[in-house]
A and B are shown apart, each in its own frame.
Chain A
Amino acid sequence: MDRDEEVLEAPYRLEYTYQRSTGPVIGRFLGALRDARLEGVRTASGSVMVPPLEYDADGAATGEPTVVGPGGVVTTWAWVTEPRREHPLPHPFAWALVRLDGADSAMLHAVDAGSIDAMRTGMRVVPRWQDERTGSIRDLACFVPESAAAAAAAAAAAAAASAAAAGDDRPPVTMFPSPVALDYTVTAGRHLSAYLRALAERRIVGGRCPVCTKVYLPPRGACPTCGVPADAPVEVADHGVVTTFCIIRIPFDAAPFPPPYASVAVLLEGADMPIFHLLRGIPPEEVRMGMRVRAVWVADDQLGPTLASIRWFEPTGEPDAPHDQIARHL
Chain B
Amino acid sequence: MSASRARRRDVAIVSFAQLPPVRRDTARDETELVQPVVTAALRQAGLTRQDIGFTVSGSCDYLIGRPFSFVTALDGVAPWPPIAESHVEMDGAWALYEAWVRLQQGDVDTALIYAYGKSSLGDLPAVLTMQLDPYYLAPLGIDAVSLAALQARALLDSGRATERDLAVVAAARRGGAVAELLATPYLVAPLRRHDCPPISDGACAVVLAAGDAARRHARPAWIRGIDHRVEPHQLGSRDLTRSTSTAIAAEHAGVATIGPIDVAELHAPFSHQELILRDALGLGAEVAVNPSGGALVANPMMVAGLTRLGEAAARIHDGRARNAVAHATSGPCLQQNLVCVLSSEVAS
A residues lining the B interface (CB < 8 Å): 1-2, 4, 7, 9, 12, 14, 18, 20, 22, 26, 30, 49-51, 53, 57, 75-81, 84-88, 95-97, 99, 105-110, 116, 121, 136-138, 178, 180, 182-192, 220-229
Contact = CB atoms under 8 A, between A and B. Distances in A.
A229 B31 CA distance: 10
A276 to B, nearest CB: 16
B182 interface: no
A95 B149 contact: yes
B104 to A, nearest CB: 27
A189 B150 CA distance: 38
29 contacts: A4-B27, A7-B26, A30-B135, A57-B234, A76-B157, A77-B150, A78-B188, A78-B189, A78-B190, A80-B146, A81-B185, A86-B129, A86-B141, A95-B142, A96-B150, A108-B142, A108-B235, A109-B140, A121-B153, A137-B136, A178-B139, A180-B130, A184-B121, A191-B29, A191-B32, A220-B31, A221-B35, A221-B75, A223-B78
A227 B26 contact: no
- Nearest first, the 5 A-B pairs at minimum CB distance are A86-B141, A227-B78, A78-B149, A221-B32, A106-B236
B50 to A, nearest CB: 10
Given A95-B146, A108-B137, A224 B26 contact: no
Nearest to B232: A57
A110 to B, nearest CB: 7
B76 interface: yes
B257 interface: no
Contacts of B77: 222, 227
Contacts of A84: 125-126, 141, 143
A182 B150 contact: no
Contacts of B152: 78
Contacts, number: 180
A224 B153 contact: no
Given A95-B149, A187-B26, A192-B29, A136 B139 contact: yes
B130 to A, nearest CB: 7
Contact of A78 (B130, B136, B153): B153
A185 B149 CA distance: 27
Interface of B: 26-29, 31-32, 34-35, 38-39, 49, 62, 64-65, 75-80, 121-123, 125-127, 129-130, 134-143, 146-147, 149-154, 157, 185-191, 232, 234-237, 240
Contact of A182 (B126, B186, B234): B126
Contacts of B235: 97, 106, 108
Contacts of A9: 26
B146 A227 contact: no
Contact of A138 (B27, B139, B157): B139
Contact of B186 (A77, A79, A86, A227): A79
A222 B236 contact: no
A149 B129 CA distance: 34
A96 B150 CA distance: 7
Name which of B26, B29, B152 has the most chain A CB atoms within 10 A of its CB: B26
Contact of B123 (A18, A99, A183, A187): A183
A183 B122 contact: yes
Nearest to B120: A185
Contact of B32 (A78, A106, A222): A222
Contact of B141 (A7, A87, A221, A228): A87
Contacts of B137: 108
A80 B237 contact: no
B138 A76 contact: no
A184 B64 contact: yes
A190 B39 CA distance: 20
B118 to A, nearest CB: 9
B335 to A, nearest CB: 12
